[in-house]
Amino acid sequence: MTAAFAIREGMNDIDEAPGKTWFWELERAVIDANRCIQCGACVAACPSDSLGIGPDDLPTLVKMCTGCSLCWDFCPRGGLRYEATWKLTGGDRPAGFERTRNRYSARTVSRIPGAQDGGVVSALLIELLEAGELDGALLARPSEQEPWKGEAFLARTRDEVLSCAGSFYNQTMALAHLDLKRYDLPPNPRIALVGTPCELQGLRAMQARPWYWGSSRVDAVVLTIGLLCTKSFNYEQLMVQEVQAKRGVVLAEIEKIDIIRGKLYIYGRDEAIRIEEPIRNFHGAALKGCDECADFLGLAADISVGSVGSADGYSSVLIWTEAGQQAFDMARDRFDARELDAPAAIEKLDTLDKTVAFATLPRPFDPEAPLFIDYEEHLRHYAGGDRAPVEHDAVRY
């Protein structure tokens, strides 16, 4: 029995190895079925570093697949029952808004240029970096080649954090960027990860099963900040096709993009509104896999931050864990913070998000069920529907 089989067997508390799941099964069921949410968990989980990111920003094989199954196991659209990760942070406490330890509406005392809402995420990270609590923070920074595309980046200084402020409405494959060798860091670095809730699910699951993750420093992440999220988008389809080609807005001339109160707003450099349209008009550019997601709140995070629930210019801050509370308390002097303005607005959006997810998810939703789903079980639920694995005529590798 290989080591990879051994861990998989132990993981589901079952007696027999369930058989190998290869990368191409993940590819058929998730990537080719257009269900990938570009979290990068499969790349991080591969112990032989066999996966990378292709030119289409999707996972691809770069070396031989050993059939260890781990890319499948940790994929939140494949073998990872994402809702079962919620108990890894919350234990027996209810998996919902009521689980929060504290909730605030907050903004920074000194304005953060380019911040999306109250600048809480940036200010919190700057405080922790300057206090020596963190060696870096994996964020999204603007691409130099493609305007308004966010790319994963490890910020290590105040200025680098500031250069990443604001929201990018595309996924960055964040977990695929945990190979930290190219950065000058101490031997046991401590970093924060900012990401959409789905990215934190895969990370939590890997951290709960200490293992050899190839070059990925899953162990280095000591703080996770989730961004409240109902959907993310394909950069090419949203920005290049819908915004630039169809509506004639030059991407390089955009000052800010916001999705708030059901609308997409795009502001020009002169602060004039270039686009104000219901977000449903852009549904075709959203990631199909997002429809299956019921984790608007980011229940696997230490802290979640969003805009809904607070007055304009403030961030809504939900504290889920002790680590999250400690981090927020350290930076407390940087914030003008009060009790969350409108909890009901967050609960309403969470309910809406779940309604869509429950109507879409072909498998039963069960936070109490085992963490992992076998490929065969996946097939039983997904085969025959519009999210079924794609059949290929021939073996492709």
Ligand X SMILES: Cc1cc2nc3c(=O)[nH]c(=O)nc-3n(C[C@H](O)[C@H](O)[C@H](O)COP(=O)(O)OP(=O)(O)OC[C@H]3O[C@@H](n4cnc5c(N)ncnc54)[C@H](O)[C@@H]3O)c2cc1C
- What is the nearest approach in angstroms of ligand SF4 to the Cβ of residue 127? 26
* β-bridge mates for residue 192, sequence order: 137, 223
Q: 28 and 396 in contact (C-beta within 8 Å)? A: no
Which amino acid makes up residue 250?
V
Among 197, 306, 324, 389, binds ligand X (CB under 6 A): 306
Q: Does 192 bind ligand SF4 (CB under 6 A)?
A: no
A 10 A CB-CB count for 245 gives 10
User: Which one, 76 or 119, has the nearer CB to ligand X?
Assistant: 119
The count of chain residues that interact with ligand X, using the rule CB under 6 A, is: 34
**Options 7, 40, 81, 85; binder of ligand SF4; rule CB under 6 A:** 40
Decide if residue 327 touches ligand SF4 (CB under 6 A). Answer: no
Backbone φ and ψ for 339, nearest 5 degrees, come out as -55, 140
| Window 117-156: contact mask with ligand X (x via CB under 6 A) | xxxxxx----------------xx---------x------
Site for ligand SF4 in 51-90 (CB under 6 A): 59, 75-78
- Which position among 50, 100, 116, 234 is part of the footprint of ligand X (CB under 6 A)? 116
Give dist(CA 379, CA 10) in Å, integer: 22
Q: Does 154 bind ligand SF4 (CB under 6 A)?
A: no
Helix (H, G, I), strand (E, B) or coil at 264: strand
In the bound state with ligand SF4, the residue whose beta carbon lies nearer, of 40 and 214, is: 40
The SS3 call for residue 16 is coil
Q: Are 392 and 23 in contact (CB under 8 A)?
A: no
From first CA to last CA, the distance across the chain in angstroms is: 24
What is the DSSP track for 182-241?
Answer: TS---SS--EEEEE-HHHHHHHHHHHHS----TT--GGGEEEEEEEP-S--B-HIIIIII
| 193, β-bridge pairs | 138, 224
The least distance separating ligand X from the CB of residue 243, rounded to whole angstroms, comes to: 15
The residue behind tokens 């990068």 is 40
Question: CB under 5 to 8 A by kind: which of ligand SF4, ligand X, none does 290 bind?
Answer: ligand SF4
Residue of 230, 288, 298, 301 that binds ligand X (CB under 6 A): 230
By the rule CB under 6 A, 193 interacts with ligand SF4:
no
| Closest distance of CB 32 from ligand SF4, Å | 10
Nearest to 317 by CA among 286, 334, 340: 340
Footprint of ligand X (CB under 6 A): 112, 115-122, 139-140, 150, 164-170, 172, 174, 194-196, 227-230, 232, 305-308, 315
Catalog residues that contact ligand SF4 under the rule CB under 6 A. Answer: 26, 30-31, 36-42, 59, 75-78, 171, 196-198, 229-232, 287, 289-290, 293, 295
